[in-house]
């Protein structure tokens, strides 16, 4: 995973997806990696007003890169 990759969130349980949706976090959207450091990445989601969110790499799936 590197800067510029298009990614999607991998969900472990439906409950975690439901919690994220209720908190206003992205759920079924594609995001763009803008920063990568060790085991974490910062992703921007255009549909969320260009807000950035931080994720652990193993929780994301690369769609194109």
Task: Taking residues 44-65, report their average pLDDT.
Answer: 89
Query: Could you tell me if residue 59 is inside a domain?
Result: yes
Confidence of residue 65 (pLDDT cuts 50, 70, 90): low
Residue 13 DSSP one-character state: -
What pLDDT band is residue 48 in, cutting at 50, 70 and 90? Answer: confident
Is there a domain that residue 1 lies in?
no
Residue 13 neighbours by CB under 8 Å, 6+ apart: none
- Residue 19 included in any domain: yes
Q: Is residue 30, in this structure, part of any structural domain at all?
A: yes
When divided into structural domains, the chain yields a total of 1
Q: How confident is the model over 34-47, as a mean pLDDT?
A: 93
SS3 50: coil
Global pTM reads 0.83
Domain that holds residue 48: 6-64
List C-alpha distances in Å: 26 to 14, 20, 38, 59: 14, 7, 23, 13
């Amino acid at each position: 995973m590197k800067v510029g990759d298009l990614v999607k969130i991998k969900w472990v349980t439906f409950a975690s997806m439901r919690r994220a949706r209720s908190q206003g976090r992205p759920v079924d959207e594609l995001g763009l990696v803008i920063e990568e450091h060790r085991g974490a990445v910062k992703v921007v989601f255009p549909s969320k007003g260009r807000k950035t969110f931080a994720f652990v790499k193993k929780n994301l799936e690369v769609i194109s890169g």
